[in-house]
Amino acid sequence: MVEAVGISAVIFDLDGVILDSEERWSQVKKDLVEETGGHWKPEATHAMLGMSSPEWSRYLHDELGVPLSPEEINAAVVARMIEGYRRDLPLIDGAVEAVHRLAEHWRLALATSANREVIEVVLESAGLEAAFAVAVSSEEVERGKPAPDVYLEAAARLNVAPGEAAAIEDSTNGLLAARAAGMAVVAIPNRAFPPTDEALAAADVVLGSISELTPAVIDSCRPSVGG
């Protein structure tokens, strides 16, 4: 028998959903590569989308030739990102309002590739600390997106089954990660780095902007569980 159940939690990505920040991450990494004598590759930005900090730090070291340890690479990039966010937080129009709208109905979590220190600065600066019950960085799990690890960990910390959660995502690897976790998926395609058709097909709903994200959209993503 299949029993219809409702969504009991909503899990947001951060970069590309709440922040217009993917290009900023890429530029900071590119600057570090060039300043240290490494060799930037045109495909590097797309290759690193969704990677956890241990993964992209190793990529900068191994593939792009940055002559620092992965730990030093990570620290340098994070320091630059935090410095930039303290000057100018690139919030996407309507994102804060959308988070507050959904927080009135569901417990919320973040499942993001951003580092823990970056998450804390963003939530504090945006006034969103109270909106999220849980925040998980992919540096805290075994694998970054498109593996489902960060979403599964967020659901576990919320104490909800993955199939009873809805994920809000923008990128190919993020959409595939949320679907692999067994969640309902709402896509808000990233305009700078649009998801593939395959990834969009994994979404239950595709929106034009986060301003369109309402409780009614989440209610339309009613999952089913076999019993």
C-alpha closest to that of 137 among 120, 159, 162, 158: 120
Does the domain at residues 2-20+90-226 carry the CATH identifier 3.30.70.920?
A: no
C-alpha closest to that of 148 among 110, 188, 193, 183: 183
CATH 3.40.50.1000 range(s) for the chain read 2-20+90-226
User: Residues of 174-198 as b/e, b for ≥16 C-beta within 10 angstroms?
Assistant: bbbbbbbbbbbbbbbbbeebebeee
d(CA 104, CA 21): 26
- Which bin fits 94, alpha (ψ -120 to 50), beta or left (φ > 0)? left
Residue listed under structure tokens 């909106």: 131
d(CA 4, CA 135): 28
In DSSP notation, 3-52 reads: EE----EEEE--BTTTB--HHHHHHHHHHHHHHTT----TTHHHHHTT--
C-alpha closest to that of 186 among 3, 135, 97, 174: 174
CATH architecture group of domain 22-87 = Orthogonal Bundle (1.10)
166 contacts 183 by C-beta, under 8 angstroms:
yes
Per-residue pLDDT of the chain (227 residues; tens, 9 = 90+): 233 458 999 999 999 999 999 999 999 999 999 999 999 999 999 899 889 999 999 999 999 999 999 999 999 999 999 999 999 999 999 999 999 999 999 999 999 999 999 999 999 999 999 999 999 999 999 999 999 999 999 999 999 999 999 999 999 999 999 999 999 999 999 988 999 999 999 999 999 999 999 999 999 986 544 43
95 contacts 210 by C-beta, under 8 angstroms:
yes
CATH 1.10.150 range(s) for the chain read 22-87
User: Residues of 71-98 as b/e, b for ≥16 C-beta within 10 angstroms?
Assistant: eebbbbbbebbbebbeeebebbeebbeb
Tell me, yes or no, if the pTM score tops 0.95. no
Instruction: Say whether 165 sits in a helix, a strand or coil.
Output: strand
